[in-house]
Amino acid sequence: MDTDTVAGWLSREDLDSARERLPIVYVEAVPVRVDDQGAVTEVGLLLRVRPDGTISQSLVSGRVWYGELVRSALMRNLEKDLGPLAFPRLPASVAPFTIAEYFPDPAVTGLVDPRQHAVSLVFVVPVTGECQPTQNALDLRWFSASEALSDAVAADMSGGQHRLVRMALAHCGVAV
């Protein structure tokens, strides 16, 4: 998809210019499967090619477009990354469990985006349907909560996102 022609997107030149001057707003989602009582049973992580060419596990993520509601941005990015049959369940009142700040310098927050300063609203989102990664996601893998918290999974994530997985699971009452 040529993102330069979709309403709400900036041209490559305008985006690069904005990234040099402004924090960019993102939404991120930690997809989870839950049991009948709402307890997290699995965490879904995408396998992606990062901007630097490496491959790593990551969260659902994407920019909030100009004029777009946060709820709409979250749903659009969930569908973009997990496919149209993922059936995410958003609550009536959408509120992030945390706000993450990414910087090019890892010393600032430990969350790194070499391209920009980004402010991300981070959500835990239960999904009930069949997930088929789309766009630039290569695959989706479901991990048990303990696997998602493991050093092996943390080592396979970049940009400090393993910290967000840990925070998400703690927010959901999983012992970390």
Phi, psi of 33, rounded to the nearest 5 degrees: -105, 140
Is the Cα dihedral 61, 62, 63, 68 positive or negative? negative
Which superfamily does 27-171 belong to?
Answer: Nucleoside Triphosphate Pyrophosphohydrolase (3.90.79.10)
Distance CA 4, CA 106 (A): 29
pLDDT of residue 22: 84
Residue 26's pLDDT is what?
97
Q: What is the pLDDT of residue 1?
A: 36
Taking the mean position of all CA atoms in its chain, how far away is CA 72? 15
pTM over 0.85: yes
Is-contact 64 164, C-beta < 8 A? no
In this predicted structure, what is the pLDDT of residue 89? 96
Query: Structural domain boundaries of the chain?
Result: 27-171
Q: Give the Cα-Cα-Cα angle 39, 64, 47 (nearest 5 degrees).
A: 55
Identify the burial level of 45 via C-beta atoms within 10 angstroms of its C-beta, where 0-12 means exposed, 13-18 middle and 19 or more buried: buried
- What pLDDT was estimated at residue 9? 67
Tell me the pLDDT of the chain (176 aa) as tens digits.
Answer: 344 445 566 788 887 787 777 889 999 999 999 999 999 999 999 998 876 788 899 999 999 999 999 999 999 999 999 999 999 999 888 999 999 999 999 999 999 998 899 999 999 999 999 999 887 789 999 999 999 999 999 999 989 999 999 999 999 999 87
Q: Strands 40-49, 98-102: parallel, antiparallel or unpaired by DSSP? A: unpaired
